[in-house]
Chain A
């Protein structure tokens, strides 16, 4: 079920023009060379992405929780770090697949741009989920100094 959820998530924008079908197979754990079931990278990357969003929320809203670091620009700064990390995670994961694809002729349609594309999709989802999480009044209101901080204010 989790696998389906993350598959749907990462394929939400459609495979093209984001990344190739072969990259999608490889990320979902199907090895196109051997057709064996391998590691489902979409689920792992997705879980890490969700965890990073929650951690960023906890760090910004409850750990730092500073009146001097509570404006929208601070929100964007923290978000930029979190989004960058998620881009890197997506990029590195797909880059490993891209590297191993060199030994497999069945994966000929995977190109280097796919690694950037998957990194971008992962970063984009982390941004959207973080926006959603921090736009909802609850649990943001539990923060004393950042309870009013969202991506557009103050």
Chain B
């Protein structure tokens, strides 16, 4: 199976990976002849960043669920795994994050070994890294004294130095040794912060300059890898904070500076096969705390992150023939942007373009139905309905109480999925496709598209949902090779049927 190595850099990178996990969990798959295994590599020095921690948990749950079900089960159909798990022998830790060395409790000054630099170099260093930032307690400090375990706090000039260690890292060496001609690379970064803006060109150059890196094997494939990237332009509002070095007002200036650099060094020299741009100039309410500190950066999920995740799917749909690379240069670079069908501040199903609706709208709705049923209707059905008890294998109370896949992975994953939906709905611009909360019934699940009911047309009820589950379960009796597979495949098929017959999806 071909692989897609996804480098997710900085806080935005983590959040886009979170959205990508949700899309893949809902069964979204690229329309392509090839199947891809996704290997996310999150690059963020700010390990205590809440967004990173949440994404890491989501990926772990996803991987565990996928390992219990097969690729044709619908939900969780695409494999997501760690870099170390694809290696036969590896000393790499089994994790989704890239280990940035020597940043924990280290000031940038010490990272540079400032005290051992020559006088001339010191002066040059002070010139390049003048200014101030904050430490993890929010106290203003000279830029050189920033402690990097909270990231680069909006300073790409620091990031570009520290992230250069990627070129010599064990992870990069392993990727180069494993990389095949079928594989692809995708880089996710924001352009208006510190880590993403600095990391994107650094990683891209490391890949294209692979032949000049004496530590690498298999560099032929790597240099001519099919590389896509998304650069996320400013899209969210932050609460103003006098103490924080991250200010919304700086976003545009930083974006312009970075774009200017990219023009010559990233897009201008055809190093990328496909470049995606996304951003949002809608100025909504500032919901996210401006807290770059120790446990900070827990931002509400945003529809732009979802659209950015969609670009990864889109990239995998581009045929190989359009992604030719010769000597590290794309012969036919592609540039893409994303647009809503309608510029609404509250996004409903009608705000999405036709392509988005068809590519991700259907699957997301399926997954929301799945979550809603499990959270609100499951208890009544366990040990009562034939789909739970009777049509082998049984999904009885013993299964739901004791099986690890459900109890330890799927349920927590669905909790995080719900949190993700709630955050996107709460955000401004609001992604309000679904009335997924328990106060709404199935018939009004899709905002603005109630299920049509009439004398001879029943809506979607707990009973009609169970009827469909029972019917499919009876038809497929004996076909499910495990309980976990039955749970996932049965609900995928049932929600698909319900959407097609009741909600008017084709």
Is B462 touching A71 in the complex (CB atoms < 8 A)?
no
B391 — which chain A residues lie within 8 A by C-beta? 147
**Alpha-carbon gap, A85 to B474, bound state (A):** 33
Is residue B165 within 8 Å, beta carbon to beta carbon, of the partner chain?
no
Bound together, the chains give a CA A66 to CA B470 distance in angstroms of 10
The yes or no answer to A154 lying at the interface (CB within 8 A) is yes
Cα distance A68–B381 in the bound complex, in angstroms: 10
| B390–A68 CB distance below 8 A | no
Q: Among B383, B390, B467, point to the contact of A67 (Cβ < 8 A).
A: B467
CB distance from A73 to the nearest CB of B (A): 11
| Chain A CB within 8 A of B479 CB | no
- If the complex has contacts A154-B383, A154-B384, are A67 and B470 also in contact, measured as CB distance less than 8 A? yes
Whether B386 contacts A148 by the Cβ 8 Å rule is: yes
Contacting pair B389 A145 (CB below 8 A): no
Interface residues on B, range: 10 to 19
Q: From B467, which residue of chain A is reached at the shortest CB distance? A: A67
Tell me which residues across on chain B come within 8 A of A147, comparing CB atoms. Answer: 386, 390-391, 470, 474
Q: How far is the CA of A83 from the CA of B385 in the complex (A)?
A: 26
Q: Contact check, A148 vs B390: say whether CB atoms are below 8 A apart.
A: yes
Is B385 touching A70 in the complex (CB atoms < 8 A)?
yes
Q: Determine the chain B residues whose CB is within 8 A of the CB of A148 once the complex forms.
A: 384-386, 389-390
The complex places the Cα of A144 from the Cα of B469 at a distance, in Å, of 9
User: When each residue 468-504 of chain B gets 1 if its CB lies under 8 Å from chain A and 0 otherwise, what string results?
Assistant: 0111001000000000000000000000000000000
Residues of A with C-beta under 8 A to B290: none
Chain A nearest Cβ from B418, distance in angstroms: 25
Q: Which of B245-278 contact A (CB under 8 A)?
A: none
Which residue among B386, B461, B469, B471 has the maximum number of chain A CB atoms within 10 Å of its CB? Answer: B386
Within A18-44, which residues are at the interface with B (CB < 8 Å)? none
A70 and B384: CB pair below 8 A?
Answer: yes
Within 8 A of B (CB), among A105-154: 141, 144-148, 154
C-alpha spacing A145/B388, complex, angstroms: 11
Q: Which residues of A contact B461 (CB under 8 A)?
A: 68
B365 within 8 Å of A (CB atoms): no
Query: How far apart are the CA atoms of A66 and B462 in the complex, in Å?
Result: 11
A145 and B384 contacting across the interface, CB-CB below 8 Å:
no
Determine the distance from Cα of A104 to Cα of B461 in the docked complex, in whole angstroms: 62
Q: How far apart are A145's CB and chain B's nearest CB, in angstroms?
A: 5
Q: Which of B342-395 contact A (CB under 8 A)?
A: 383-386, 389-391
Given contacts A147-B474, A154-B383, A154-B384, contact A68 B389 (CB under 8 A): no
B224 at the binding interface (Cβ < 8 Å): no
Q: B196-230 CB contact bits vs A (8 Å, 1 = yes)?
A: 00000000000000000000000000000000000
Chain A CB within 8 A of B132 CB: no
- Residue B29 at the chain A interface, CB threshold 8 Å: no
Contact yes or no, B389 A154, CB < 8 A: yes
A68-B474 contact, Cβ under 8 Å, with A144-B386, A148-B390, A154-B389: no
Residues on A lying within 8 angstroms of B by beta carbon are 66-68, 70-71, 141, 144-148, 154
Which 10 pairs show the lowest CB-CB distances between chains A and B? A67-B466, A68-B463, A148-B390, A154-B384, A147-B386, A144-B474, A144-B470, A144-B471, A145-B470, A67-B467
26 contacts between A and B (CB under 8 A): A66-B467, A67-B466, A67-B467, A67-B470, A68-B461, A68-B462, A68-B463, A68-B466, A70-B385, A70-B386, A71-B384, A141-B390, A144-B386, A144-B470, A144-B471, A144-B474, A145-B385, A145-B467, A145-B471, A147-B390, A147-B470, A148-B384, A148-B385, A148-B386, A154-B384, A154-B389
